[in-house]
Structure 1
Amino acid sequence: MTQTRLNRRLTTLDSTFLYFEKAEQPMHIGGCMLYEGLISRDDLARTLLGRLHRLPRYRQKVVFPPFTLTHPTWEDDPDFDIANHLDEVTLPAPADDRVLAEVGGRVYAGMLDRAHPLWKLILLQGRADGNTAVVWKIHHAMIDGVSGVDLTMVLHDLTADAEPPAAPAAPWQPQPLPDPISLLQDAVRDRLTEAVQSLTDSAFRLLRPTELGDRARQITGAATTALPSLIEPAPPTPFNAPLSTERRFAWQALPFAEIRAIRSALGGTVNDLVLTILSGALGRYLRSHGHRTDGVELRAMCPVSMRRPDERGALGNLVSVMIAPLFVGIVDPVERLAAERAAMEQLKSQDQAGGLYSLQQLLNGIPAAWQAFAGQLTVPQTLFNTVSTNIPGPQIPLYLAGRRLLHWIPLGICSTNVGLFVAILSYDQRLTFGLTFDPRLLPDGWCLATCLAESFAELRGAAERLEPQAFTKTAASAPEATATAGR
C-alpha cells in the first residue's frame, strides 16, 4: 500500500457507520485468519509495533466536535497502548473448525471501544492442528473491503523470511488532542468551507448543461431500477428479523481455478457465478427448512467500489451499491446463471451503482447532527434480504511473523433486519464465502455453508458436461478447499 495522505475529518459515508452503530448492530468488519504454526501474543505485538509507522490510522481515535456541528475527526491517541488492541483466547476441545467458528463468533460480536483506536485482534490458540487463528475487527468508518485488503497487505510479508520494514526516522510523537474550543473552531471552518465548495460546484454545473444532464439521467436511471425495491418489500426469510447482540460465522472455500473453468464453459463474470452459487445455496437452505421458493426472488445489496487506482491506500469508504436479485426459485443452475447474468448486465447498463453514488453525495448537505439522530432511530429495513460483497484479494500466499496465512475468512456486518452477511474473498487460489450471521435468526449456519458447496458442485457439473477439457487442467493444481470448511 503506497503512502497516501489520509483525511483528518471523516466523510459523510464514513461517519454513517458511527451514527448507525448500536449494541445489536456493531459496525466493524474484519476476518478470521488461520496461520500455520504458533504465533504468540508477543510475536503479534512485535510485528504490529514494527509496522505502525506505516499505518498512522491505527494510532488514531475518533473525536466528535461539540454539538455534532460536523462529522468527527481522526486524532492521535496520546494514550495509545498496543495491549488495548490484543486479546488471547484458548479454544476448548476438540478445537476444530466448528469450535473456532463458535468462539470466534463470540469474540467478533460486540462494539469496539471508542475510547481507543477502532481496531482489535484476538488470537485463538489451542487448535488441534497446532495452527493459530486471529480474528480481526476493524471499524467500517476506517475501511471498506478494498482498503481492508490494502491494509492487510501492509501488515503481511510476501515471503516467510522477509526483512522487517525500515524503522521510522524518528519515534512516533502523538499530536495533543484538540481542546473543545479548537474542535469547535475547526468544525465551523470546515462547515463553511464545505458550504462554499458546494455552492461553487452547483454554480459551475449550471455552466456545464451537458454534465448536469448526464448526472440527472444517471440519477433517474438509478432511481428507476431501484424503484421495485422501494415499492415492494423483499420476500420474508428466517434471517430477516430484529437482531440480537450475538454473532457467529461459518465458511466455504472453493478452488478459484474451477471458478475460472466454470466461467470459461458457461460465460459470465466471477461475480455472476458468485451470485448464482449464493442464490442456489439460499434456495436449497430455504427449501430444506420448509419454505417455498417457486418464483421467489430474494435481494442482495452488493457494495461496488468506486475507488480509482490512484486512491488505493487512502482508507475510508469509497463505495456505492447495487440491489441484485437472487433467483432462489430457479433450480436449474445454468438457467439460474443466465438469469443472474441478464439481471446484472441490465443493472450495469443502467449504471445503478453510479446513480446511487450520485444520490449518496446529496447526503453531504444534511447536517451531521440530523444524521446522528436519524442513525439511532429503529426503522425496519425491507429493501433487501442479505448483503453480498465480492472482494479481490492477492492470489499468492502472505506471511505474518514468518507464518503462512493458510485461510482468510472474510467477516461482515449484520444490520437492521439483515441477520446474514455474505463476504466473498479470493486469496491464494481459493474463493472463500464467509458467512456472518445472528445465531438467533440462523441457528445452523454450517448447513448454509454445506448448501454453498452443493450449489457450486451442481454448477461445476453442468459446466464440465459442456466443456470437460476445461476441468482436466484444474484437477491436479487445485488446492484443498471445500474439505477445509467445517472440519
Structure 2
Amino acid sequence: MADGDPLIPPSAVDVDLSAVAAGWNRTMSDFETGMWRMEEAQPQLRTPIVAVDVLDRPPNWNRLVQAHEWASHIVPRIRMRAVEPAFGLGNPVWSVDPEFDLDYHLRRMRLPEPADFDHALRICRHLATEPFDRARPPWAAMLIEGLPDGRAVYVVKTHHSMTDGMGGIGLMTLLHSRRAEPTPDKPDRLPAPPEHLSTLTAMRQDMIAEIRKAPGRIGDLVGGAVRAAVATAINPVGAATEVVGYANSLRRIVTPPPATGSPMLRSRGLGRWFGVLEVGLPELKAAAHAARGSVNDAYVAALLGGFARYHRELGVKVGDIPMGMPVNMRRASDPSGGNRFAAVRFAGPATETDPVERIAKVRSIVLGLREEPALDALDLAAPLLSRLPTSLLATWYLSQSTGLDLQASNVAGVPVPVYLAGARIERMFPFGPAPGCAVMATLVSHVGTCCIGVNLDTAAVTKPALFMNCLQESLDEIVELGRREGA
C-alpha cells in the first residue's frame, strides 16, 4: 500500500517483498478461532483493532485506492475471508474471496460543516462497532474529509483474528511512505487468484494441517518427556522444585487479580466511546526516569491515577483496579499476521496517591509478571478451549474479562515522518478492542509523540468526557515529575 519506500520493518532500507507475506498460516490458530467464534454468542466480545491517522491534508484518492490494491497483491491475506469447516470440525481456513471488491472495504466521506476532530472520532467509533460481514475479508477503511484547517482522517479496522497490535502496525506500514511523492516502478506481483473453498474442503485442509503438525507435537512431547526424565535422574530435587515453581506460577497467572473492581464500573454493554490523549515521548521518558521506571510504567501509572481522580470527582471510594496487559511475544522474524502475545492480570495500585511511588509499584508488579514461567498458559490451553461449545467458551471468557476494569497496551510505532498518498501523518491513534472490560487504553509512539487511544464501554463509564479530563490531569501530573527533575 506504499507510495514510496516500504517500511516493513520501519528500520529497513531495502525490503524483500516476497518475505512480507511469508509465514502467514492458512488456518486460524486455536486462540484466533476462539476470538472469531465467541463474538457470535456474545456481541460484547467483538474484537476490532482500529487505527486512526490524522493527516495534514486529504490524500490523493486515486493514489490511496491504488495503494490498497497494491498491498492486496503483496499480502494476500487482505483479500482473504475466513471459511468455517463443515460441522464446525476444525478451525476456520483463510481463503481468497472469489468476489473481492476493494470498493466495499475502502470508503470515503465528507463531514458536514461545521465539523471537528470529535465528529471524525464519532464516525470512527461507529465504524468500529459495526460487526464485520463474515462472508468477506474482515477489514474496513475510510477516508474522512472536511476537518478544520484542511485536515483529514484515515481510519482502518481489522478483526483481531487477522493480527495483533504489533502485527497491525506492520500491516499499516504498507500504506506509509517516507516521502510525499509517488515512487514509480515499485515491486509488485499479481493478485492471488480467487478461491471457491467449500466448507468440506476447509474441514479437509484443517485436518491436513493438524496431521502435519502432529509429528512435531509428538516430537516435542517425547523430547520434553525424555529431557524431564534425564533431568529428574540427574537432579531429582531440582526437577521437583521446577515443577512446583511452574505450578505456582500457573496459579498466579490464572487466578483473578486480588481486587474486586469498582462498583461504579460494574455494568457492561455494547456502547463505545473514543477519546484521545497525547504527550511528547521525551517528556514521558523524563518522567519515567525521575521515578526510576520505564515509559510503560509511567503510562500505566497515569491511567491508574486517572481512574482514582474519576472516582474522587464522583464521590466514590476507589480501591486497586483489576487490570490486564498484553505482553508482546512477537519476534523480529515473525510475519505481520497472526497473534503473538500473552496476557497478564494484576491489581493496579490506583490507591497510591504519590505518582513516584505509583510508578515504582507498577514497575515491580510488571517486571515480576514478565518473568512468570507460565506466561504462555493461555496459549497452551487454547487447543482445549477452542474445542468447547462456542456459547460455553464465550460465557467463560466474558466472566473473566468483565472482572477487569482496565486493559492497557503499549505498541511501538513509527519513529520517522511518513506519508499516506501524499498527505503527512501527524498523529496515529490506536484503539484496541474492549471485549468485556470497562476501559481499553492503547499507546503508540509516532515521531516523538505518544498517541493514546482510549476505548470506553459507556455502560461502565457513564461520564466519558469527565473520565478523559481525569486521565489528562493524571498524565500532566506524571509529566511534571520530569520537569521538576530537569529544573
Whole-Å separation in 1 of the counterparts to 2:56 and 2:484: 37
- Opposite residue 125 of structure 1, the aligned amino acid is E
In the alignment, does 2:282 pair up with 1:251? Answer: no
Aligned partner of residue 121 in structure 1, secondary structure = strand
SS across alignment from 2:473: helix
- Cα deviation, 1:27-75, whole Å, max 9, x if unaligned, reads 2112111111113544421221133222211011101111111111111
Measured in 1, the distance between the counterparts of 2:175 and 2:240 equals 45
2:249 paired residue among 210, 213, 222 = 222
Q: Output the CA distance in 2 between the equivalents of 1:51 and 1:314.
A: 13
Residue number in structure 1 paired with 2:37: 19
How many residues end up aligned between the 2 structures? Answer: 457
Change (3 A) 1:365 1:214: farther
Contact 1:51–1:165 (Cα < 8 Å) also in 2: no
Task: Select which of 314, 317, 322 maps to 1:299.
Answer: 322
- Aligned pair partner of 1:60 in 58, 64, 80: 80
Q: Quote the Cα distance in structure 2 between the aligned partners of 1:73 and 1:360.
A: 19
Find the residue that maps to 1:33 and give its secondary structure. Answer: strand
Alpha-carbon distance in structure 1 between the residues aligned to 2:471 and 2:364: 22
Question: Residue 479 of structure 1 corresponds to which residue in structure 2?
Answer: none
Cα offsets for 1:436-471 (capped at 9, x unmatched): 122343243333332222112222323333342xxx
Are the structure 2 counterparts of residues 5 and 422 from structure 1 closer, same or farther at C-alpha, using a change threshold of 3 Å? same
Provide the rounded CA distance (Å) in 2 between the counterparts of 1:46 and 1:443: 42
Aligned partners of 1:197, 1:433: CA distance in 2, in Å?
Answer: 41
Q: Which residue pairs with 1:241 in the alignment?
A: 267
Bigger shift: residues 58-67 or 218-227: 218-227
**2:287/2:480 contact within 8 Å kept:** no
Residue number among 280, 284, 295 corresponding to 1:270 in the alignment: 295
Residue 394 of structure 1 is matched in structure 2 by: 414
Q: How far does residue 208 in structure 1 lie from its aligned partner after superposition?
A: 0.5
Q: Counterpart of 2:483 in 1: which secondary structure?
A: helix
- The corresponding residue for 1:478 is none
**2:439 is the alignment partner of 1:420:** yes
Q: Which moved more, 1:101-110 or 1:299-308?
A: 101-110
Q: Distance in 1 between matches of 2:286 and 2:433?
A: 31
In 2, are the aligned partners of 1:124 and 1:132 still within 8 Å (CA)? yes
Which amino acid in the other structure matches residue 318 of structure 1?
R
Q: What corresponds to 1:442 in structure 2? A: 461
- CA change 1:215–1:181 in 2 (3 A) is farther
CA distance in 2, matches of 1:435, 1:32: 12
Counterpart Cα distance in 2 of 1:179 and 1:225: 43
Counterpart of 2:209? 190
Residue in structure 2 matched with residue 116 of structure 1 by the alignment: 136
Alignment deviations for residues 105-140 of structure 1 (CA, whole Å, 9 cap, x no partner): 122212111111110002222112211112211010
| Aligned-residue identity in percent | 23
Alignment partner of 1:320 is 2:320: no
The equivalent residue for 1:133 is 153
Q: Contact between 1:219 and 1:358, CA under 8 Å: does it hold in 2?
A: no
Aligned partners of 1:48 and 1:155 also within 8 Å: yes
The amino acid across from 1:18 in the alignment is W
SS in 1 for 2:256: helix
Deviation per CA, 1:257-312, whole angstroms, max 9, x where unpaired?
1112123322111111111111111111121122112xx1102210011112211x
1:106 corresponds to which of 126, 136, 144: 126
Match of 1:155 in 2: 175
Counterpart CA distance in 1 for 2:47 and 2:482 is 39
| Contact 1:121–1:137 under 8 Å retained in 2 | yes
Contact 2:84 2:92 in 1 (8 A): yes
Deviates more, 1:42-51 or 1:333-342: 42-51
Match of 2:14 in 1: none
1:286 aligns with 2:311: yes
> 131-140 or 192-201, which moves further after superposition?
192-201
Deviations 1:376-433 (A, max 9, x none): 43753354222100101112121110111111110111212x1321111111111122
1:407 to 422, 427, 451: 427
1:242 to partner: Cα distance: 2.5
Q: Distance between the aligned counterparts of 2:366 and 2:302, measured in 1?
A: 15
**Separation (CA, whole Å) in 2 of partners of 1:195 and 1:413:** 33
Give how far 1:205 is off.
0.9
Q: Describe the shift of the 1:70–1:102 C-alpha distance in structure 2 as closer, same or farther (beyond 3 A).
A: same
Output the CA distance in 2 between the equivalents of 1:51 and 1:247: 30
Could you say which residue in structure 1 is the equivalent of 2:364? Answer: 342
Verify: 1:50 aligned to 2:70, yes or no: yes
Q: Report how far residue 89 of structure 1 moved.
A: 3.0
Q: Distance in 2 between matches of 1:357 and 1:215?
A: 16
| Aligned partner (choices 22, 25, 33) of residue 7 of structure 1 | 25
Residue 207 of structure 1 aligns to a residue in which SS? Answer: helix
1:195 is displaced (CA, Å) by 4.5
Provide the rounded CA distance (Å) in 1 between the counterparts of 2:79 and 2:423.
25
Question: Does the CA contact (< 8 Å) of 1:104 and 1:124 recur in 2?
Answer: no
CA distance, structure 2, for counterparts of residue 50 and residue 271 of structure 1: 35
Comparing 76-85 with 47-56, which one deviates more in the overlay? Answer: 47-56
**Cα distance change of structure 1 residues 196 and 374 upon mapping to structure 2, 3 Å threshold:** farther
Unpaired runs of at least 5, structure 1: 469-487
Q: Structure 1 residue 248: deviation in Å?
A: 2.1
Partner Cα separation in structure 2 for residue 164 and residue 61 of structure 1:
31
Distance 2:313 2:388 in 1: 44
Contact 2:259 2:320 in 1 (8 A): no
8 Å CA contact 1:50, 1:165 repeated in 2: no
Q: Look up the equivalent residue of 2:418 and give its one-letter code.
A: L
Cα distance between partner residues in 2 of 1:256 and 1:363 = 36
For residue 393 of structure 1, give the secondary structure of its aligned residue in structure 2. strand
> Aligned partners of 1:213 and 1:364: how far apart in 2?
27
Q: Which residue in 2 is equivalent to 1:480?
A: none
> SS at the partner of 2:327?
strand
Counterpart of 1:206 in structure 2 is 225
Cα distance in structure 2, aligned partners of 1:196 and 1:328? 48
For 1:186, what is the secondary structure of its paired residue? Answer: helix
- Does 2:359 correspond to 1:310? no
2-structure distance, mates of 1:307, 1:413: 19
